[in-house]
A and B are shown apart, each in its own frame.
Chain A
Amino acid sequence: MSDLIHKTAAQLAEMLAAGTTTSVEITQAHLDRIAAVDGDLNAFLHVNAAVSLDAAKASDARRAAGAPLSPLDGVPIAIKDVLVTTDMPSTSGSKILEGWMSPYDATVVTKVREAGLVPLGKTNMDEFAMGSSTEHSAYGPTRNPWDLDRIPGGSGGGSAAAVAAFEAPLALGSDTGGSIRQPAHITGTVGVKPTYGGVSRYGAIALASSFDQIGPVTRTVMDSALLHDVIKGHDVHDSTSLKDEWPSFAEAAKNANVKGLKIGVIEQLDGEGFQPGVLARFHESLELLKANGAEIVNVSLPSLEHAVAAYYLILPAEASSNLAKFDSVRFGLRVQPEGGGTVEQVMSATREAGFGAEVKRRIILGTYALSAGYYDAYYGSAQKVRTLVQRDFADAFSKVDVLASPTAPTTAWKLGEQLDDPVAMWRGDIATIPANMAGIPGISVPAGLADEDGLPVGIQFLAPAREDARLYNVGAALETLLEQKWGHTLLSQAPELKGGAL
């Protein structure tokens, strides 16, 4: 029965349909796995076995009655703590929301419930999704299943570690500058940032509203496609969600054919500043695609040089505004200064006690970038860079179908290694940030292990806005080709977790 945890969501769906297992068995197997290994990983902030098993029992009853809600009915899922839930606390990794219960479910949570999926718990993350290592969580870092001394990526390190460690077959993440794709790269898993507006963000605790997007975190491209098919679509509660009719992403993943596909390699993300083992796996993947009919060309996106700088002006500006809602009045923490005080003093004391260092740093930076006298020089200039990045992408996509790059410059670093140098950690987002600047979709697919450290490496594909299906096609094709070549999945090479290591 423990083998159930190693199945993909697609396989579990087949087994449930065939009646060879039940949702209760599957859910219990994952809860057992979490109990065994999560003490070492800290991927989950909250698990409630009774609530999950009740949902599993309800799913089994629907199957027995011949009325499953969807093919994935009964398959468990982990939920990043940035998404609000009515039956589990939602903290966004912050002390200011410790124990907070939302009065409503995020739309994506409603959608996965309506498809019959079984929520397993809430996953750890950098506080308010600010970070690339999950070390900025107020509840302690998540550890990388490949090496417990290393970071799992961030901000969605909890979701990525949970699927990599077979604690959940599926997870939900959020991607503001790479928080789904970079942890996928770091942990040898798959992560997708959909087109901006392709998935509702209602009930996602906002970081930077012009960048944030919710997406799937899984072990296979097909599983991401299946989950994306559940969560996509317009939502009246999210005015930025698109009214497009989306194609079936599962069909796109099934197609998995790169014959005649034009792939552009982004010159600015292929060379200096990238670890040799990351580049080696990247070029190997490209060769494999070429051998199977894809056409590989080089493209130049000169504005990417300034994308990180612009991002770290726009993001703090939007975050400082979004986080103003944590004011000690309607929800979350309230700290009374000694001897009491006015609402402004209470607010200031609350935010001092409730926010961590990275959050304070970005709020102050954002307040500065938006303040009179600096607005045009910083925020205004950054928004112009955004135009330049979008123009570069439009130009590139007039020549190629998809773009490719390594997902991040390096493999997983050691816990604590970059904590004292925020700017250095931000530079690690260079390959993922441009997609958020332009609103285009991106996927990270495992490409192998770096020779120098034996740690996972991901390859990123980007497509024009609304063309998410192209990512599933090319991603699934590469995944199949690589697994045929290796003779196994990448995650089967991860060290066995026994629990109790820490």
Chain B
Amino acid sequence: MSDISAEQVRHLANLARIDLSDAEIATMTTELGQIMEAVASVQAVATPDVPATSHPIPLKNVYRPDVVADVIPTDKALASAPEHDGSRFKVSAILGEEQ
């Protein structure tokens, strides 16, 4: 039931923004097929009458007063950035030439 193609893995890698090599795609296609087979059993017991649980301990929305607290100063936030101009992160070009 879990026939996963190399094309699908390539698409997933694109969605996940990982530039996988062809060799990695080939390996992962096989592995992903095996993994999905191993985890498919969840569908057998997940009948419509069972509600889903997203969180182990029930919590309601958590609010706090909207006041400035211990904010990280700009210089510290930028200190380990790949590139910055002293007050902002420098980002690579957003648009390519054809755009």
Contacts and interface: CB of A to CB of B under 8 A. Distances in A.
Interface string B52-76: 1111110100101000010010001
A330 B81 contact: yes
Contact of A383 (B47, B52, B92): B52
Interface string A452-477: 00000000000001000000000000
A268 interface: no
> What's the dominant secondary structure at chain B's contact region?
loop
A343 B94 contact: yes
Contacts of A101: 79-80
A348 B41 contact: no
Q: What is the interface of chain A mostly: helix, strand, loop, or mixed? A: helix
B57 A195 contact: yes
Q: For this complex, into which size category does the number of interface residues on chain A fall?
A: 35 or more
A327 B82 CA distance: 11
B18 A371 contact: no
Nearest to A362: B35
A438 B83 CA distance: 42
A33 to B, nearest CB: 31
Contacts of A357: 24
Contact of A368 (B32, B69, B91): B32
B9 A351 contact: no
Contact of B28 (A242, A360, A371): A360
A322 interface: no
Given A342-B93, A368-B32, A387-B50, A351 B42 contact: no
A320 to B, nearest CB: 6
A296 B53 CA distance: 31
Given A360-B20, A367-B12, A384-B50, A342 B42 contact: no
A436 B32 CA distance: 24
B96 A364 contact: no
Contacts, number: 183
A361 B54 contact: no
Interface residues of B, number: 56
B89 A239 contact: no
A345 B32 CA distance: 24
Interface string B36-50: 101111110111001
A140 interface: no
A414 interface: no
A208 to B, nearest CB: 11
A103 B80 contact: yes
B46 A361 contact: no
B30 to A, nearest CB: 11
Find the residue from A242, A320, A381 having the highest chain B CB count within 10 A: A381
A438 B38 CA distance: 21
Interface string A357-401: 100110111011001000001101111111110100000000000
B94 A364 contact: no
B51 interface: yes
A346 B13 contact: no
B46 A364 contact: no
Given A103-B80, A312-B39, A210 B56 contact: yes
6 contacts: A103-B76, A330-B89, A334-B92, A342-B93, A343-B94, A380-B46
**Top 10 A-B pairs, shortest CB-CB distance:** A439-B56, A381-B46, A334-B82, A383-B52, A384-B46, A103-B76, A352-B19, A348-B19, A239-B62, A309-B39
Interface of A: 100-104, 195-197, 210-211, 236, 239-240, 242, 303, 305-306, 309-310, 312-313, 320, 324, 327-334, 336-337, 340-349, 351-352, 355, 357, 360-361, 363-365, 367-368, 371, 377-378, 380-388, 390, 422-423, 426, 436-440, 465
